[in-house]
Amino acid sequence: MKLLIIALVCLQLSDAFHRVPLYKGKSARDTLREKGLLDDFLREHHSDPCAKFDGLTGVASLSSTEPMINYLDMSYYGVISIGNPPQSFTVIFDTGSSNLWVPSVYCNEAACSNHNRFDPQSSSTYRSNNRRVSIQYGTGSMTGILGYDTLRVSDITIHSQELGLSVTEPGGFFNHVKFDGILGMGYQSLSAEGATTVLHNMIAQQVISEPLFSVYLTREDGESGSEIIFGGVDPSHYQGPINWVPVTHQAYWQIEIQRVTVNGQVVACSEGCPAIVDTGTSLLVGPSNAITNIQQAVGATPSSYGMYTINCNDLSSMPDVVFTINGYDFPLPAPAYALKSNYYGQVTCMSGFSESNSYLWILGDVFIGEYYSIFDRGNNRVGLAKAV
């Protein structure tokens, strides 16, 4: 999660921030259960874990689907539980980081007290390893201790999963988010303190038959249907071929962009540039000069907080921004890169492109929402297909 939901702080001041239910202080699963919606929600999104068509081998495989809540098109999170008896948490399944951590009872900051906190003394299977951990994200950070306990994700049970328990969450950013913690899905080499990743344990403990996972993100605020599938692929979420792209560096899910074009003209990456496919970043982020070129090419205008606005009435006539990756073209149409919000009854559109000081591009949720993404650890590649 190189940049975690960088526009969320800007949106939190608007009425749009309250357009969907807030799951503060309890898990999404508990809230749905209280409203009598849990059975319908799971029936719609929770597939049979022992008979999921994986779309790659053409056979049934051991896989499991975890539904995710779409919050303002800015974050996607699902439910996990830790310990025995289970303690429930909502987490971002983040391909831009590799550690699992949740708030703990050892943390008394507002960022922790506003969320569910793990109590290791209430779990019969928790054990500490007496090590400390510190993780810095693009926005937000945590410090804490490492331990081991049973992790349950959907219908998957992982034993002795290493996890972080936050003691501090400096900066106040996590005070405002609607999820409790983060479950990193990056490579082992990216993990702080070398903590064993959840994906590594899924493969090692053979709870999934294919060493991969796939992500489908809806792009309508509050719309159901977003999901992550561990060990499989759902062909109903994409059309056309899966275009496979090799991972160029095994830390983030890093790939190479060959060029970025608008109306046939190269506007960025003329000599290629590295990029990561990151479910933990809301926008599509790139170096300042390159993003400025894209904003100008699509007709976006500068606004506050370093963001750009788009005229919502112009979407039908605005050009695609085309990313060429491994010889394949992945166009982003205007409705994909224009983020709509409703502020006091007035619909506005914000550009989904954002600048950073890093040389590394981040293909965040703006891109993943348009392209069903498969993260194949067994073959060290990313599959991209047109989402439907």
Residue 65 — very low, low, confident or very high, per pLDDT cuts 50/70/90?
Answer: confident
Q: Which of 45-49, 68-72, 292-296, 330-334 has the lowest mean pLDDT?
A: 45-49
What span, in angstroms and rounded, lies between the C-alpha atoms of 140 and 309? 25
Does residue 247 register a pLDDT over 70? yes
10: exposed, middle or buried (Cβ count in 10 Å: 0-12, 13-18, 19+) = middle
| 259 shares a domain with 194 | no
Residue 221 — very low, low, confident or very high, per pLDDT cuts 50/70/90?
Answer: low
| 258 shares a domain with 191 | no
Q: Which residues are catalytic?
A: 94, 278
Q: Take residue 27 and report the two structure tokens written for it.
A: 């898990």
What pLDDT shows up at residue 69? Answer: 76
Torsion of CA 199, 128, 105, 70, to 10 degrees: 0
Omega cis (within 30) before 246: no
What pLDDT shows up at residue 119? Answer: 97
Per residue in 142-165, pLDDT (tens digit) is: 999 999 999 999 999 999 999 999
Nearest to 146 by CA among 135, 159, 157, 162: 162
Q: Give 48's contacts (C-beta < 8 A, 6+ positions apart).
A: none
What pLDDT shows up at residue 146? Answer: 97
Residue 102 — very low, low, confident or very high, per pLDDT cuts 50/70/90?
Answer: very high
Q: Looking at residues 210-219, what average pLDDT do you find? A: 92
Number of folded domains that form the chain: 2
Per residue in 10-37, pLDDT (tens digit) is: 333 222 222 222 222 333 444 444 444 4
Show which of 213, 234, 255 is a domain's final residue: 234
Q: Which CATH number fits the domain that encloses residue 203?
A: 2.40.70.10
| 110 shares a domain with 258 | no
Show which of 234, 252, 285 is a domain's final residue: 234
Q: Which of 2-16, 59-73, 97-111 has the lowest mean pLDDT?
A: 2-16
| 259 shares a domain with 168 | no
Cα–Cα distance list, 289 to 6, 64, 114, 322, 357 (Å): 19, 42, 39, 17, 10
Nearest to 310 by CA among 355, 340, 343: 340
| 308 shares a domain with 341 | yes
What span, in angstroms and rounded, lies between the C-alpha atoms of 77 and 61? 24
Does residue 47 register a pLDDT over 50? no
What pLDDT shows up at residue 138? Answer: 76
What pLDDT shows up at residue 224? Answer: 73
Show which of 234, 254, 271 is a domain's final residue: 234
Query: Residue 277's domain spans which residues?
Result: 236-387
What pLDDT shows up at residue 243? Answer: 98
Pairing of β 87-94 and β 75-82: antiparallel
What pLDDT shows up at residue 49? Answer: 32
Assign 3-state DSSP to the chain and report helix, strand, coil percentages, each to 5.
20, 40, 40
What span, in angstroms and rounded, lies between the C-alpha atoms of 384 and 325? 10
What span, in angstroms and rounded, lies between the C-alpha atoms of 149 and 158? 9
What pLDDT shows up at residue 149? Answer: 98
Residue 359 lies in a domain: yes
Q: Looking at residues 299-311, what average pLDDT do you find? A: 89
What pLDDT shows up at residue 320? Answer: 98
| 265 shares a domain with 226 | no
What span, in angstroms and rounded, lies between the C-alpha atoms of 388 and 376? 21
Pairing of β 64-67 and β 227-230: antiparallel
Q: Which of 60-74, 304-318, 322-336 has the lowest mean pLDDT?
A: 60-74
Residue 180 lies in a domain: yes
- Contact status, residue 318 vs residue 310, Cβ threshold 8 Å: yes
Q: How many CB atoms lie within 10 A of CB 81?
A: 18
Averaged pLDDT of the chain: 84
Q: Looking at residues 265-277, what average pLDDT do you find? A: 97
In Å, the largest CA–CA distance within the chain is 61
Residue 1 — very low, low, confident or very high, per pLDDT cuts 50/70/90?
Answer: low
Residue 225 — very low, low, confident or very high, per pLDDT cuts 50/70/90?
Answer: confident
